[in-house]
A = this chain, B = another copy of it.
Amino acid sequence: MTIERYETGPRMAQAVAHGDLVFLAGQVAADVVGTGVTAQTQQILEQIDRLLMQAGSDKSRILSTTIYLADIGTFAEMNAAWDAWVDGQNPPARATVEAKLAAPEYRVEVVVTAARGTP
């Protein structure tokens, strides 16, 4: 069974698909200048849409997600952006914890595992 990689650099790939599973790299917002949790979460969720589409999946087929917040006090703010985006009929398993991220500008990071149609 082959492994397909998407948006691949020398250090990591943004998405890796194997069989009917897709694993995304931790997504942080591409544009963080002057943005808060709401805007960063919205950007990240759009990035997830794009990566899942490339790999033959979509948000209705997310199986599991881990959300890291630089400040757990922004939980409600992240959730508002999440709730506006998630497929409420097909939501994933989810865990949210606080963790300092790779750069202080990053307020949110989201990791996703999804299913795709078997190739």
Contacts and interface: CB of A to CB of B under 8 A. Distances in A.
Interface of A: 1, 3, 5, 8-16, 18-21, 23-26, 61, 63-64, 66, 68, 72, 75, 79, 82-83, 86, 88, 90-102, 109, 111, 113, 115, 118
Protomer copies:
3
A97 B68 contact: yes
B19 A20 contact: yes
B97 A101 contact: yes
A28 to B, nearest CB: 9
Nearest to A61: B3
Nearest to A97: B99
A77 to B, nearest CB: 13
Closest 9 CB pairs of A and B: A26-B95, A98-B100, A97-B99, A23-B64, A12-B94, A25-B93, A10-B88, A23-B93, A16-B93
Nearest to A111: B95
Contacts of A13: 91-93
A20 B66 CA distance: 21
Contact of A72 (B3, B9, B102): B102
